[in-house]
Amino acid sequence: MKIVTTDRIVIVGAGLGALYAALELAPRPVVMISPETLGLGASSAWAQGGVAAAMDPADTAENHAHDTEVAGAGTVDPKIAAMVTHEARAHILDLTSLGAPFDRTEDGGYVLSREAAHSFARVVRVKGDQAGAAIMAALIERVRATPSIQVLEGTMAVDLDVENGRITGVAIQAADEARSAPVMLRGAAYLMAGGGSGGLFAVTTNPPRIRGQVIGMAARAGAVIADPEFVQFHPTAIDVGEDPAPLATEALRGEGAVLINKHGERFMLGLHKDAELAPRDVVARAVYTQSQAGMRPMLDTREVLGERIKTQFPTVAEACARNGIDPAKEPIPVAAAAHYHMGGIDTDIDGQSSLGNLWVCGEASSTGLHGANRLASNGLLEALVYGRVCARGMLKSLGETPESLEDPGETPEVTITFEQGGERPDARAVARLRQTMTGCVGVVRDAKGLKTALRAIAEIESAHPESRSFANMCATATLIAAGALLREESRGAHERSDFPDMAERGKRTKITLPEALALREKVIEELS
């Protein structure tokens, strides 16, 4: 394999955490690996709700941390929750100074929305449902203008090189249709910031490329993975047959929109004291149950928003319009869809993985903030906080300080020439994998379905061994199904119909890929 060496820090991914970290590292030279043009294909850009922060004078970071722990159903790390929520306000102010156009009140304050399981309105937003795209646009403008940041667009990471438990390189290849033979890129340090795994499921709100590749890549290199079974399903994906499914932001329910079935009945009223603003796992299961019963769940915004939905929530309105739905006059059909992965590459409080020289931020990580069920709009917040944490950790590891970086000198840009070769994942195999995950590892799980999934994943993987990218997908799928099989209880987003009760004590999962593969082989033997 061709080798290219650079003194730059290598960042895998181009979402919010990656961009924020790159800016925090400046003027330390970095190179970002981005499969798409910046701003396209990243989950951050698709985020509608906003960033959670205690900006209301009556609210506190302690309240925010408490809500995070309650939503996380007993597996949130209190130290991480306290740290992240205490830093939230500073990051909102920092984003504002960077040009993020947050919605403001007439007196200059921030417009705050309330979302599920929050005790206060504390979600800072942009034009109702455009926070992710607007924040990303502001950061991308800064990144483009920062000389120390090089972006390799149209490239994707497929493998990590590891020696004695330490990452020494990342294999990259062209991300276009032709693909290419991989090139080993060796840098000073490595940050994984390439998203979660929602696209491994057939019904998802995630961008098409977000299919667990970064988590799987690290797992194949030997990294410890935490809580892979905790996959959050968003209750109000717009059910119109699009892949990915467009999202009806939770902020709509914060404004008073209600969930009804085909008979016009509000089905959340008898299920939870907070009704439509119950924790996401509760609402997702209710929507799933209604769908399974043929009751056609829908989100009704007519009374509380009417025509205003078209100006206050333009992304939702546009998705409805292209599918012939007028949300001012008719309810929006919805379904539960794979949305956010609380699990991922295990990190310590400084964002470092179990592998040396490898840091992780954003949805690819499992910091302990989200527990079994992410509190709404804590995802972008975590990416911001840990983008900065990881940047500072890498500089410290490299023995560098802000003072030492005042005049870093010229660091040559990375020049990559790809040659023909490499294999694309087989589209039919990917489709079968996604159907397996939705059918057997979805909103409600049981041992029979999880064992069926593990056997199917093994069969699909063995039939298509050529693609490293597909191997990464299968690794993450295996970890999710294995973690779900091992957790014999129902907790947060993980619902086992054969173990409906929650264990007395919350316990996090820590697992390696060899351990998950050993369980997979055991299951196959049992089923044969």
Check which CATH number belongs to the domain holding 250 and give it.
Answer: 3.90.700.10
For the chain, the first-to-last Cα distance in angstroms comes to: 39
Query: Does residue 141 lie in a domain region?
Result: no
Predicted confidence band of residue 407 (pLDDT cuts 50, 70, 90)? low
- Would you say residue 76 lies in a domain? no
Confidence of residue 424 (pLDDT cuts 50, 70, 90): confident
> Of 284, 317, 339, which residue is a domain's last?
339
Across residues 382-395, what is the average pLDDT?
97
CA angle, residues 242, 244, 250, in degrees to nearest 5: 100
Taking each helix axis from N to C terminus, what angle separates 447-463 and 468-486, rounded to the nearest 10 degrees?
160
Q: Quickly count: other Cβ atoms within 10 Å of residue 177's Cβ.
A: 6
d(CA 62, CA 70): 12
**Is residue 133 scored above 90 in pLDDT?**
no
CA dihedral 429, 431, 437, 443 (to 10 degrees): 180
Distance CA 404, CA 389 (A): 19
Catalytic residue, chosen from 209, 280, 285, 496, is 280
Domain residues for the domain of 320 are 237-339
- Look at residue 416 in the predicted model and tell me its pLDDT: 93
Instruction: Please report whether residue 397 resides in a domain.
Output: no
- Does residue 276 lie within any of the structural domains? yes
Instruction: State the DSSP code for 110.
Output: B
Rg (Cα) of the chain, in Å, rounded?
Answer: 22
Flag whether 53 is in a domain: no
More confident residue, 321 or 46: 321
Among 285, 310, 339, give the residue marking a domain's end. 339
Q: How far, in Å, CA of 279 to CA of 223, rounded?
A: 31
3 state SS of 356: strand
CATH at residue 483: 1.20.58.100
Is 280 annotated in the active site? yes
Q: How confident is residue 115, by pLDDT bands cut at 50, 70 and 90?
A: confident
- pLDDT tens digit sequence for 373-387: 999 899 999 999 999
Q: Is residue 332 part of a domain?
A: yes
11 strand-pairing partners: 32, 191
Q: What percent of the chain has pLDDT over 90?
A: 83
Would you say residue 492 lies in a domain? yes
What's the CA gap between 141 and 154, in Å, rounded?
A: 19
Phi, psi of 60 (to 5 degrees): -140, 160
Contact call for residues 299 and 334 (beta carbons, < 8 A): yes
Last residue of a domain, one of 296, 321, 339: 339
Q: How many CA atoms lie within 13 A of 235 on its CB side?
A: 32
Look at residue 187 and tell me if it is in a domain.
no
The stretch 183-207 carries a mean pLDDT of: 96
Q: Give the pLDDT band (50/70/90) at residue 177.
A: low
Q: How many domains does the chain have?
A: 2
